[in-house]
Amino acid sequence: MSQPRFGRMIPAMVTPFDENRELDLDKAQALAARLVDGGSDSLIINGTTGESPTVFYPQKIELFRAVVEAVGDRVPVIANVGDNCTADTVDFAREVAELGVDGFMCVVPYYNKPPQEGIYQHFRTIANAVELPIILYNVPSRTGVSFTAETYQVLSQNPRINGVKEASGNFSLLAHTRFLCPDDFYIWSGNDDQVVPMMSLGAKGVISVAAYIVPKSMVEMSHLCLENNFEAASKLQIEYMDLIDALFCEAQGRLHARYAAAYDCNSLHYSLMSYIVSVGQQLTTADAGLPIYFPLRPRYLAAGSYSTPILSSRGSTSTWCICIPSTHGS
């Protein structure tokens, strides 16, 4: 069986900020090191979970440089450079390559909604302009358009296109892609709640958010699938469904970023996407032993304490608190 160049369990890292809405590079480096210590094969920096639409190019450069400095000698660092402008993506990718990253991730052009020929030309142009391998990123719920299996087939012939983070949730697309594309066109599940069914159809691993909290379990899940022990892998998948649902109960980045900030200083992360008043459960997990804050939408808030937990965990101890950012209203 061929081995994916970037491995099988790849966290999509959050982008930590401080209370002044500035990049917290020290925290980013510490988080990257922790993820590698937890068994990550590679790291994806400044993707959807990293709030790429609201991180400006100069900040991205600082972030990529900091993570490469922290863990670049331990695991591959994959920089998300995708944009809906082909020329901008090429120029930015060339600049980022000078920082020592090991590869790129590029999303389907969003908002523009190009036809399949436009998608092909976009990625062909990028791949032919750079020297590093590329992971495609298919997330039609955010971009408004999806790859077809036939477009994957044509792009898979380009030696710089390594595979795809497939987050469409379309199992028919996955099956057709596996049928049409060679074995060295790797597919990673882009949805933590679909790792096992996707790997049963030939995906090679997962680009994960849940790996922040249960890294060892996500590694184990993918390895069980590779051993064709789908019964045991399914048990893990089902066991963590509540956790995965909680991770996505708000817009991407909010909860994950709070966790990134909380793990070493118990402080709230101030997301650039938006600020929310949050209620959190401080949860200690067997994997991490670190505090995590789970948010609720502001309309659910009321005076007093909450008696119903958002999420339960085996062997956990829970402390409830209301966390209100002092610099922003509700």
What span, in angstroms and rounded, lies between the C-alpha atoms of 256 and 216?
17
**Cα dihedral value 145, 146, 150, 155, nearest 10:** 100
What span, in angstroms and rounded, lies between the C-alpha atoms of 199 and 232?
13
Helix or strand (DSSP H, E) at 255: helix 254-265
From residue 232, give the alpha-carbon distance in Å to each of 7, 62, 189, 193, 238. 21, 41, 18, 15, 10
Token pair, residue 208, equals 């994960």
What span, in angstroms and rounded, lies between the C-alpha atoms of 79 and 47?
8
- Do 138 and 109 meet the contact criterion of CB atoms below 8 Å apart? no
What span, in angstroms and rounded, lies between the C-alpha atoms of 293 and 258?
6
Token pair, residue 269, equals 């992360």
Closest by alpha carbon to 77, among 28, 27, 42, 33? Answer: 42
Positions marked active-site: 137, 165
What span, in angstroms and rounded, lies between the C-alpha atoms of 283 and 47?
26
